Structure 1
Amino acid sequence: MFWLFFAIFLVACCGAGLTGGLFPPGPWYRALAKPSWTPPDWVFPVTWTTLYVCMSLAGARVAMQPSPEAMLALALWAGQVAFNGLWTPVFFGLQRIKAGLFVLIALWVLVAATLWALWRVDMVAGLLFAPYLLWVTIAGALNISVWRLNPDEAKNPPAIET
């Protein structure tokens, strides 16, 4: 049963991850000024693959322990994965740097709450979410830096053709 739950959570993560293929960074992002500590492009798929496996393991561990606390943790898990999938279309698809930051802030809060709720049910599940919280923190710092380094682009995002 554990592996079935793991597969279900991994499919949910892959759904969120598909937005990266639907809305790749492209020339708009490459033209933006970025901080010197911006990770190289290859780091992102490696990191997200690892994080999605950890997130799925955490979800599966808690799904095996039905309780009111587990249900709360799983509800938060679902909320954070939805916001995880939302950031890419907002930032890269709509090219809205500031709106992307607001999505990331909500994502950070949801990931932190999910980590706490998972920890209360299963310490290992909580620990499996810790790298994710760290990565979202880094992503938030990167989003803030891009916003600050590109004030004109942030104030006047390009018109999206319909």
Structure 2
Amino acid sequence: MKTKNVLIKLLIFSQMVFLASCSDEEQGRESLIGYWEVEEVVSSHGYFYEDGGHDGLDEVVNTNDPGFFEFKDDVVNYSLFRDGTLYQGSSEWFLTVKKERNGFNRNKVFEITIIDLTDFIVEFGDNTRNSEKRAKTMDWLHWPKTEGQNVAIQMFLKKK
């Protein structure tokens, strides 16, 4: 009888853990669906190292109608003007969430991959607990992962 109670408690606990981890990603996906206006794009050009470091960066900032992203269930339509080049199209996308240790805490890190564009770390709203739920603002960051001349991209988006 005790074994049965322990098994039931373990089953309930494992389902709670599974549902909790799924809900973050689901809430993030639900927040993404819709039309997002890009308010600002910052492109940082320079030499990047594999460890995340860099040498002096030259920044190019665009706040003059840089573009939009319109997310649907599996496809995103986008138009983005960055560094004098227009990037536009329609692409599949997906969102992932993982937990990263930060001292004694484990923080959620969201990453969006737009197949025809690139991948970005996403911070929803003020990046506090459950900020992905019904988010109205996002910050995106793409940081080069290979050594050499490259560009880091930061975008600030607002839901319309």
TM-score normalized by structure 2? 0.30
Is the radius of gyration larger for structure 1 or structure 2?
Answer: 2
Structure (1/2) with the larger helix percentage: 1
Of structures 1 and 2, the one scoring higher in RCO (CA 8 A, sep 6+) is 1
TM-score normalized by structure 1? 0.30
Structure (1/2) with the larger strand percentage: 2
